Amino acid sequence: MSRPIRAALGLALAASLASTAALAGPQEDARAQNAVRVLTDIQAIPESAIPDKLFDEARAVLVVPDAIKAGLVIGGRRGHGLLSIKAVDGTWSNPAFVTLTGGSIGLQAGVQSADIVLVFRSDRGLESIVNGKFTLGADAGVAAGPVGRNASAATDGAMKAEIWSWSRARGLFAGVALDGAVLSIDDAADESVYGRDTTPRMIFESRAPQAPSGAVVAFRDALEEATATARARRAAEDAPVAAPAAPAAAPAPPVAATPATTSPVVTEPLPDTTPPPAQ
């Protein structure tokens, strides 16, 4: 192959890669914007929100908007989402991009698309995701999450779950079983946002080669806001209720003025100064 032809092919390949990179950014931004929309919509309605206790105590949150059902006979879905973890100081990390695939995930028959939210309560599942694929129900227990800001787990089995799961389909947000679904890091998406050779650990520890776009950072900010709100509500509920103040004493009735008593003036007869008659 002649040198001019090789040069032309090299330029064509470089142009193709540049075009792919240019398209990857908007695609991942759109995914992040949809994840923010899902999280904001769910938390805006008290009756269908993730409970404050779970949100405040969460170690990580994964949002998969518009997970698409693969077939009507064989259950299966595929979706792309964002995963952020909470640091020791309570702040949230920039998100890594994750794919969700797998078998029966317990959604209503006939539903073609649904939003999925996972809340992690321990670090064990997170380590598995960072180091490779992770299967819900096999690598860590997963349970259908309760809804409502003041809701709590009702069974001991649910309390032992390391991951809580919800879905929203046809406008209804409810706990859902996700056993068998597989989570894996979307390396291509991460590299398009954070730079080449970026690992999930680098993202979570803010060591990525390049900063993410504002749309991606907005997902982290939405988690910060939702967590701060949940924490403030819990603190207000746990605050001791001040004892009611004692009612003010009724004012004493006015004392009627006692009329002044005038003492009678006692007069004594004056001594008789008339001289006695002459003898």
State the DSSP code for 48.
G
pTM here is: 0.72
List CB contacts of 107: < 8 A, sequence separation 6 or more.
Answer: 69, 77, 114, 167, 169, 176
Q: Is residue 68 part of a domain?
A: yes
- What rounded mean pLDDT belongs to the chain? 76
How many structural domains compose the chain?
A: 1
The range of the structural domain enclosing residue 156 comes to 18-238
Q: Is residue 248 part of a domain?
A: no
Higher-pLDDT residue of 247, 127: 127
Higher-pLDDT residue of 162, 268: 162
Q: In this predicted model, what pLDDT tens digit does every residue of 228-244 receive, in sequence order?
A: 988 888 888 777 765 56
What pLDDT, on the 0 to 100 scale, is given for residue 7?
45
Is pLDDT at 77 greater than 70 in this prediction?
no
Q: Is residue 85 part of a domain?
A: yes
Q: Is residue 276 part of a domain?
A: no
Higher-pLDDT residue of 102, 24: 102
Q: Is residue 263 part of a domain?
A: no
- Answer whether 31's CB lies under 8 Å from 63's CB: no
Q: Average pLDDT in the 10-33 region? A: 58
Q: Is residue 86 part of a domain?
A: yes
List CB contacts of 131: < 8 A, sequence separation 6 or more.
Answer: none
Give the whole-angstrom CA distance, residue 166 versus residue 54.
Answer: 13
Is pLDDT at 84 greater than 60 in this prediction?
yes
Is pLDDT at 265 greater than 80 in this prediction?
no
Higher-pLDDT residue of 1, 203: 203
Q: Is residue 267 part of a domain?
A: no
